[in-house]
Amino acid sequence: MSDLRIGTDGVARCAWVGDDPEYMRYHDEEWGRALHGDRALFEKMALEGFQAGLSWITILRKRPRFREVFHGFDPAVVAGYGASDVARLMMDAGIIRNRAKILATISNAQLVTEMEPGALDALMWSFAPTEKRRRPASFADVPATTGDSDAMSKALRKAGFRFVGSTTMYALMQSAGMVDDHLTGCHRADG
């Protein structure tokens, strides 16, 4: 039970959520639910890339500002960003001001716009496991990477995408519902 936490609402959740109301909402309403669409997955890829080296709650708290300054993560808009946009983003304390991650987001948007509509979604979901896995009993049972996340990372890097390492892609797979790592006993666990 130490890897589960009973919230003030009496609901058992994965303990990484803690007591933060926004984290609880994210866990209950988003994390592990199937997410589809090129734009939605581009946003998820960008935010997971910005998260590298930081905590997800930091990104989650900054997500509204990220969405605002990156024009809703519309790949067609972000792909057209130039030097003045990079400078604008580097001055915005409401986001993570990391030049390499900003440039990667712009470059990744350009790659998405060169793909057929739906191709990013199809590519990413092609790495979702087809067989149901055993529900993890504890955090120790949750991997940082898998063969599927390694393969997704490799395919995306080969296509030119950046900040898409295997650990980052496994986190994306978890958050986008490609894998379900809600622990046994969590109210979101389906058995």
Length in residues, the chain: 191
Instruction: Please pick, among 16, 26, 30, 125, the residue that the annotation labels catalytic.
Output: 26
Q: What's the gap between Cα 63 and its chain centre?
A: 11
- 187 carries a ligand binding annotation: no
Instruction: Please pick, among 23, 43, 48, 81, the residue that the annotation labels catalytic.
Output: 48
- Specify whether 29 is catalytic: no
- 71 carries a ligand binding annotation: no
Instruction: Please pick, among 16, 30, 56, 125, the residue that the annotation labels catalytic.
Output: 56
- Specify whether 23 is catalytic: no
Residue 177, classified by CB atoms within 10 Å of its CB into exposed (0-12), middle (13-18) or buried (19+), is middle
- 182 carries a ligand binding annotation: yes
- Specify whether 170 is catalytic: no
What is the rounded CA–CA span in Å between residue 24 and residue 14?
9
Annotated binding site for Zn(2+): 14, 27, 182, 186
Annotated binding site: 14, 27, 182, 186
Active site residues: 26, 48, 56
